Amino acid sequence: MSKVLVTGGAGFIGSNLVDQLVQDGDEVIVVDDLSMGLASNIPSSPKVTFYEHSITDHGFMKDLLLKEQFDYIYLLAAIASVADSVARPYETHQINQEANVFILETIRQNKLPVKKVLFTSSAAVYGNNPELPKHEDSTIDPLTPYAIDKFATERFVIDYGKLYNISTVAVRFFNVYGPRQNPKSPYSGVLSLITQCFKNNQVFSLFGDGEQTRDFIFIQDVLSALHLIMTNNQAVHDVYNVATGKQSSLRTIITDYQKVVGQPLQVKTITARAGDIKHSYADIAKLSQLGFTPQYTLLNGLTDYWISVKEDFLGEQE
Ligand code: UD1
């Protein structure tokens, strides 16, 4: 049994990770300010302790790190919306970078015996670089405060680890989807928005011709990837794309999802979103070398996602 810290553990990816860690028998401490996540996402288990706190509260974080002496640390807490980061660049920086550097600094200064620290970055660091697929060493082109801080923090995490002999690693998530993804903002992940449209019989606004492609990865595959990266001693002081290596167009996805739900999606086509990239998918050779193979096709992932939405929906009606 390990003691694990998950910052951002009430969010979409974080709370699914907490579920998995609890199933694996770990003791989990969650720090989340609920700015995006929900307390109800966190499993109620004697193995989980939840602190409703911002990671920017340095005094709190230092006390927690010294007291708990974590084995593993997952850094997921962030302003997760690119649009939000453009509206609040300095606050983004304090959360997405500074708070994480402070955690590293606390580990360094106090020689904390952490086995590994994993930082979660994003494919947004590749920006408009047209090279496909995106390799970890492809040109970086961070275009927003979100992408800048994600990239800078990757570097901090990796180089701090090398300089001060702390086991660290970073991942770049591509388009993750699955249960508990929050569809509240127009900038939410497209699959959460489509899901919401199916659920509430709303019209989905398709930006552009629908031929744009993304590398969509189901949350369970993300959890397998994180587990491999966290537990493999070779995966250290490095960055890994977390994706499937396959590109799917929005049109294909809509067709597949309609099959899963068994009803047509109402679609309104509007002008392409400003700044949107046309195609994105990852080279996952590095992750594959650790033994990763995605287990979920889009059809399987969408099926599980839809089942979870229907269960919640029926739960709400009871
Ligand atoms: C992701 C980020 C985005 C960031 C970009 C840069 C998420 C949810 N989005 O965008 O903030 O700027 O990476 O790397 O992490 N779409 C529609 N209708 C909608 C919403 C989206 O047609 O209502 C389309 C978009 O135009 C896009 C595709 O769906 O072509 C996917 O959109 P999205 O889920 O936002 O992901 P990214 O574009 O990869």
Measured distance CA(18)–CA(33) in Å, rounded: 16
State whether 269 and 127 are in the same domain: no
Nearest to 293 by CA among 224, 230, 202: 224
Helix, coil or strand: residue 203: coil
What is the number of structural domains in the chain? 2
Nearest to 247 by CA among 282, 276, 285: 282
State whether 272 and 144 are in the same domain: no
Backbone angles phi, psi at 163, to 5 degrees: -65, -40
Q: How far is the CA of 198 from the centre of ligand 1 (A)?
A: 18
CATH classification of the domain holding 258: 3.90.25.10
146 is catalytic: yes
Any domain includes 100: yes
Strands (DSSP E) found in 77-191: 116-122, 168-173, 175-177
What confidence score (pLDDT) does residue 2 get? 97
Alpha carbon nearest to ligand 1 atom 6, residue? 124
**Catalytic residue (choose from 146, 160, 240, 281):** 146
The CB of 82 under 6 Å from ligand 1? The reply is: yes
Alpha carbon nearest to ligand 1 atom 3, residue? 82
Any domain includes 285: no
Tell me the C-alpha to C-alpha distance, in Å, between residue 66 and each of 49, 54, 119.
Answer: 16, 17, 20
Domain containing 70: what range? 3-175+217-242
What confidence score (pLDDT) does residue 129 get? 87
State whether 155 and 251 are in the same domain: no
The CB of 193 under 6 Å from ligand 1? The reply is: yes
State whether 164 and 256 are in the same domain: no
State whether 135 and 206 are in the same domain: no
What confidence score (pLDDT) does residue 187 get? 78
State whether 188 and 120 are in the same domain: no
Whether the per-residue pLDDT at 318 is higher than 80: the answer is no
Closest ligand 1 atom to 275 CA = 12
CATH classification of the domain holding 47: 3.40.50.720
Closest ligand 1 atom to 204 CA = 23
Any domain includes 287: no
Any domain includes 291: no
% of the chain with per-residue pLDDT over 70: 99
Beta partners for residue 216, in sequence order? 175
Mean pLDDT calculated for residue range 170-194 = 94
Q: Tens of pLDDT along 2-49?
A: 999 999 999 999 999 999 999 999 999 999 999 999 999 999 999 999
State whether 150 and 205 are in the same domain: no
Tokens of 142: 């961070």
Q: Tens of pLDDT along 56-113?
A: 999 999 999 999 999 999 999 999 989 899 999 999 999 999 999 999 999 999 999 9
